[in-house]
Amino acid sequence: MATEQLGEIVIAPRVLEKIIAIATAKVDGVYSFANKSMSDNLAKRSLGRGVYLHTASDGEVTVDIYLYLEYGVGVPAVAVAIQKAVKSAVSDMAEVELSAVNIHVAGIVPEKTPKPDLKDLFDEDFLND
């Protein structure tokens, strides 16, 4: 943590969503993200596609991650690996402590389905909004 404060630092929720999404996608066994509901598919309400941040009135930040896993992986082991990777990445890069990382497995993808490339998971142009 920085010892000298030169001014205010504000990290947009979208930045945290991207950090969380990339950390999640890099865990072995993760296939892709899923939206929480069909309306999210149509409305683009979740900027991180499958990553939903919540900030409580007391300042606690939690995240819900909706995703598909590859066939044959140990679901609990992959979920714990995601939780550890996400907490570590957000803490290291943004100095934000997540109070909970909730994993929602929407499905398992058959072995012969080609895995999407990491860059395809984030096809929107981050800087042009």
Comparing 61 with 5, which gets the higher pLDDT? 61
pLDDT confidence tier of residue 44, bands split at 50, 70 and 90: very low
Classify 112 as helix, strand or coil: coil
Q: Are 92 and 127 in contact (CB under 8 A)?
A: no
Strand partners, 102: 64
Domains of the chain: 11-37+44-109 (3.30.70.1350)
pLDDT confidence tier of residue 2, bands split at 50, 70 and 90: low
Q: Are 34 and 103 in contact (CB under 8 A)?
A: no
Whole-structure pTM value: 0.79
pLDDT confidence tier of residue 47, bands split at 50, 70 and 90: very low
Classify 55 as helix, strand or coil: strand
Q: What mean pLDDT is reported for the chain? A: 83
- Running DSSP on this structure, what letter comes out for residue 113? S
Per-residue pLDDT of 86-103, as tens digits, reads: 999 999 999 999 999 999
